[in-house]
Amino acid sequence: MSEGSRGAGEIQTVHTVAIAQSLGEKRWDVMQWASAFATTGDTYRLTHAAAWNLYAAPSDAEAVNGYILNGKGGYFEVDIPLYSSRPFVHRGVMPGPSAGVQVVEWSPDRIVLNIGPDFASGVLECVARRRGSMLAFGQDGNTWVWDKKSNSAPSVDDLFSPERLRHFNTERGGSFDPKETFIPLAATFFGDVKGISDRISARPLPSDQIQLLIFAKAPASFAMQGKGFHGEEGWVLYVINLFRAEP
């Protein structure tokens, strides 16, 4: 919690980053890291639009004055002092954008995807892991394209090297722009839970599969619900597994 570090003129809101894995259709397994900032000191009941909610409020600095009910209808009831923020973690299966992605072209040197209208706006990055390489896609009209001639394919280990992760973890401290959190979020998804490790341990992918990572603004359906909170700003790393059809 950061008591007294913010003040008058701010709105009561929430900032989040999340990893959302597609469960098909419009259902997502969402893991969120959230910070709820209150302009009025009170006990708040925080919840999300999931049938079952799981919450945790880890803190190395202090005891958390609150109560968690995990499971069906779950919520986090917690004291948040005046002009203070309360960090917490949430996980649940929630509705979101359609995960339908159309493969327009798929060859060893070029992949073209249509990621659909639900992702048409708000996408900052589109990257795919194919075996041990990361393919950076560029937007071309209504499609997203990776072409070996114009886009490099760094290895997973290079993209998530300890040096690169230390840059985010230590040099940038807690001041990074949410739009710059793609790398640490992706590293967390691939197993680097602590932020820095000697290597990323990602399971091997078969030759007919890619793992698509879409970094975008979080949808309203992922937002936290609580008295007086509005204007949530969230970013999400969507993870979608794609398979090449047999010729």
The 10s digit of each residue's pLDDT in 208-241 is: 999 999 999 999 999 999 999 988 889 999 999 9
The phi-psi region of residue 83 (left if phi > 0; otherwise alpha if psi is between -120 and 50; otherwise beta) is left
Percentage of the chain modeled with pLDDT above 90: 46
For the chain, the distance separating the N- and C-terminal CA atoms, rounded to the nearest angstrom, is: 55
pLDDT band per the 50, 70, 90 thresholds, residue 185: confident
Given this model, what pLDDT does residue 24 score? 86
- Displacement of CA 81 from its chain's centroid (Å): 27
Q: How many residues does the chain have?
A: 247
pLDDT band per the 50, 70, 90 thresholds, residue 195: very low
Residue 151 clears pLDDT 80, i.e. is over it: no
What is the per-residue pLDDT across 20-70, written as a single tens digit (0 to 9) for each? Answer: 999 988 999 999 999 999 999 999 999 999 999 999 998 777 778 889 999
Given this model, what pLDDT does residue 173 score? 47
Q: 14-31 burial, b for 16+ CB within 10 Å, e for fewer? A: bbbbbbbbbeeebebebb
Per-residue tokens: 200: 């990323």
Burial of 46 (C-beta count, 10 Å sphere; 0-12/13-18/19+) = buried
Amino acid at 232: E
The whole-number average pLDDT for the span 116-124 is 77
In whole angstroms, what is the distance from residue 235 CA to residue 19 CA?
9
Given this model, what pLDDT does residue 166 score? 60
Burial of 218 (C-beta count, 10 Å sphere; 0-12/13-18/19+) = buried
In whole angstroms, what is the distance from residue 55 CA to residue 135 CA?
34
Mean pLDDT over the full length of the chain:
82
Block residue for tokens 């929630």: 94
210 secondary structure, DSSP code: E
